Chains A and B, each alone.
Chain A
Amino acid sequence: MIASDIIAYAWQSLSRHRGRSLLMLIAMGISVASVMLLTALGEGARRYVHDEFASLGTNLIIVLPGRNETTGAGLNAMPGVTPRDLTLDDARALARHSAITRIAPLNVGAVEASWQNRKREITLLGSTHDLLKLRHWKLAAGQFLPDMEWERTTPVCVIGKKIRDEIFGPHAALGQWLRLGQNRYRVIGIMASEGRTIGLDVEETVIIPVASAQSLLNTPSLFRILIETSSRGAMPSVIEFATAVIRERHYGEEDVTVITQDAVLQTFDRILSTLTYAVGGIAAISLVVAGILIMNVMLVAVSQRTAEIGLLKALGASRQQILRLILTEAMLMSLVGATAGFVIGIFGSWGIRLAFPELQVYPPFWAILTSLLVALVTGLLFSLLPAGKAAGLDPVRALQGR
């Protein structure tokens, strides 16, 4: 029997029994679609978290004042000892390491910004030229802080999109003088809006040179020092270096915390990947359920078609041919069901993306592949029994419909 005939014969018998074929198709389809959608959601969540963190910068090391309490009875717990401030000099001392490509001291405060008669409370960021690239930010217009001596105060500022809209409205903001506290700063750049939510909201920020911020906020202490290393591999040595330098500068007190976003990210990654596998696995159980359904339906199909199978044998069909015919029927069904499920999965994840644009809900390739494979394999495995039953029928009895 040639392949196209086997398929045509199986197809004809399937389309003759629309009801039960549809049943198998739906079972298979739902299973495949649910595996795809659930893993797509899991992957989407993982990628979302991943991107949120990645948007903070790559190979990023953050130095913050104060000992991390989780490392034990820290200095914070001791009465009378306050952590020493992080200063610009500390930052400069750190910049000596050769694996450091960018370093940005960061100062944060809340001040009132005004222009003509418009006022609003803003988040003030004091930093340096490197911050833009270090944080992977983008400018909408103008330029970022100039590359200059950190100690220099220059009356320039870069403003977030929301600040521009609310304070300047329809007026051109670039070149205008924005009043922050007692001083005026010329607007030299406007930040592009960021889709991200973790970290600072750039849209409501005004960025000025770090020295200007120090004097405006009237404090020499830094909020953070952000460090970008040349490679991921360089991070441990830079962390060690930073810790040692600060300890030395702070007279032996280890009063800063050095963290990487990597460590946090990896933990999230692991949790969410595990979750994705778990829900994918649970959904895969439905594939097995679909397989059992296929087995039952095929058993009924075989007993309904006993006489036909007897006839085929009388016409010269071998055991193997009967086996192949029934298996092909089940496989075709699984294939069509799996394809339907695949289409549902693709459109479903597209629908979810429409509803939640911030989630990258794409079924992962491995999930598509395994769900399709598992669908076909269960379809095959569970139709072995009915096919074997059909192949083993005694032709004389089968012809009598027994």
Chain B
Amino acid sequence: MIRLEQIHRDFEVGDQIVHALNDINLDIAHGEYLSVMGPSGSGKSTLLNIIGILDHATSGRYFLNEQNVTDMDELAESRARNRHIGFVFQSFHLVPRLTAAQNIELPLVLAGIAPALRRQKVQQVLESLSLADRAHHTPDQLSGGQRQRVAIARATITEPSVLLADEPTGNLDQKSGSEVIVTLEALNQRGITLIVVTHDKNIADRSLRSLQMVDGRVVSDRHGR
């Protein structure tokens, strides 16, 4: 479902070139639960951004659902992001002036879905993530864990095939962190492909597959617990 072939991502910093990703070859099947670990600066976020089509590889080929992402134009990319990819960020990235429900429906709004259908979908997601009583709260009225669950609801509202989470528990305490992980795993159980970047060994241990990155390379790819 996700296939990376000889992906390189170079950044020019001054007259130096940083190889953030160095010859990445990766196949991720539908419904996998993958964790990515590695020291700071090893290229985990860069990898996630490329999989999420937020960033472009300097060279190499990337296929998402058998489609060559490398060939897409800007409009096709944004459409693919909207339909196939859900992002969960460390810092939640909720729009502060919008309520939880309004934040959650944003991807549907961008996709031009009619309001009635949106309401229905948002209601479903709110209930399944036990956020129904928080629907009309703004982010500053929510706890960190609730915010991240709203962000997860937003990421999954379009029923994407991949959920990309970059240190989703990084800003949370132990308890809400594990709640968020449980939520993500439940979604994975229902079929979504889940890729989690984390510094937390415990989380990595729970995943069925775990990548270890160092200096832009995948140094270990463990399948099975």
Interface residues of chain A, those whose CB is within 8 Å of chain B, are 1-2, 5, 9, 12-13, 16, 307-308, 310-321, 395-396, 399
Per a CB cutoff under 8 Å, which of B49, B79, B81, B111 touches A396? Answer: B49
A residues less than 8 Å from B111 (CB atoms): 1, 316
Q: Which of A12, A16, A315 has the most CB of B within 10 A?
A: A315
Number of B residues with CB within 8 Å of any CB on chain A:
27
20 residue pairs bridging A and B, Cβ less than 8 Å apart: A1-B110, A1-B111, A1-B112, A2-B112, A5-B109, A12-B97, A12-B98, A307-B93, A313-B81, A314-B87, A315-B82, A315-B87, A315-B106, A315-B107, A315-B110, A316-B83, A316-B107, A317-B78, A320-B75, A395-B54
B74 at the A interface (CB under 8 A): yes
Cross-chain contact B110 with A321 (CB below 8 angstroms): yes
B residues less than 8 Å from A312 (CB atoms): 106, 110
Cross-chain contact A13 with B82 (CB below 8 angstroms): no
Cross-chain contact B81 with A399 (CB below 8 angstroms): no
B residues 104-144 with Cβ under 8 Å of A? 106-107, 109-112, 114-115
Q: A2-B112, A12-B97, A396-B49 are in contact. Are A314 and B81 (CB under 8 A)?
A: yes
B residues less than 8 Å from A396 (CB atoms): 49, 54-55
Per the bound structure, the CA–CA distance linking A256 and B107 in Å amounts to 87
B residues less than 8 Å from A317 (CB atoms): 78, 82, 110
B residues 67-85 with Cβ under 8 Å of A? 74-75, 78-79, 81-83
A102 to chain B, nearest CB (A): 71
A residues less than 8 Å from B83 (CB atoms): 316
A-facing mask of B130-171, CB < 8 A → 1, else 0?
000000000000000000000000100010000000000000
5 A-B pairs with the lowest CB-CB distances in the bound complex, closest first: A316-B82, A318-B78, A16-B97, A316-B81, A395-B54
Cross-chain contact B97 with A314 (CB below 8 angstroms): no
Per the bound structure, the CA–CA distance linking A395 and B81 in Å amounts to 12
Known contacts A313-B81, A315-B154, then 11 further A-B pairs from the complex at CB < 8 Å, ordered by chain A residue: A1-B111, A1-B112, A308-B95, A311-B93, A311-B95, A315-B82, A315-B110, A316-B82, A316-B83, A316-B158, A395-B55
A19 to chain B, nearest CB (A): 14
B161 to chain A, nearest CB (A): 14
Per a CB cutoff under 8 Å, which of B97, B98, B110, B114 touches A316? Answer: B110
Q: A12-B98, A307-B93, A311-B93 are in contact. Are A318 and B75 (CB under 8 A)?
A: yes
B62 at the A interface (CB under 8 A): no
Per the bound structure, the CA–CA distance linking A314 and B75 in Å amounts to 13
B residues less than 8 Å from A321 (CB atoms): 78, 110
B73 to chain A, nearest CB (A): 10
Cross-chain contact A314 with B54 (CB below 8 angstroms): yes
Q: Please report the number of residue pairs spanning A and B whose Cβ atoms sit closer than 8 angstroms.
A: 66
Cross-chain contact A314 with B79 (CB below 8 angstroms): no
Cross-chain contact A319 with B93 (CB below 8 angstroms): no
B195 to chain A, nearest CB (A): 15
Per the bound structure, the CA–CA distance linking A311 and B92 in Å amounts to 10
A7 to chain B, nearest CB (A): 12
A residues less than 8 Å from B93 (CB atoms): 307, 310-311, 314, 399
A393 to chain B, nearest CB (A): 11
A81 to chain B, nearest CB (A): 90
A residues less than 8 Å from B154 (CB atoms): 315
Q: A1-B112, A321-B110 are in contact. Are A316 and B95 (CB under 8 A)?
A: no
B118's nearest neighbour on chain A, judged by CB, is A5
B38 at the A interface (CB under 8 A): no
Q: Which of B78, B79, B83, B87 has the most CB of A within 10 A?
A: B78
B89 at the A interface (CB under 8 A): yes
B residues less than 8 Å from A311 (CB atoms): 93, 95
B52 at the A interface (CB under 8 A): yes
B residues less than 8 Å from A310 (CB atoms): 93
A308's nearest neighbour on chain B, judged by CB, is B95
B98's nearest neighbour on chain A, judged by CB, is A12
A202 to chain B, nearest CB (A): 68
B89 to chain A, nearest CB (A): 7
B102 to chain A, nearest CB (A): 8
B residues less than 8 Å from A16 (CB atoms): 97
Q: A12-B97, A16-B97, A396-B55 are in contact. Are A313 and B78 (CB under 8 A)?
A: yes
Per the bound structure, the CA–CA distance linking A313 and B78 in Å amounts to 7
B46 to chain A, nearest CB (A): 8
Per a CB cutoff under 8 Å, which of A12, A313, A316 touches B79? Answer: A316
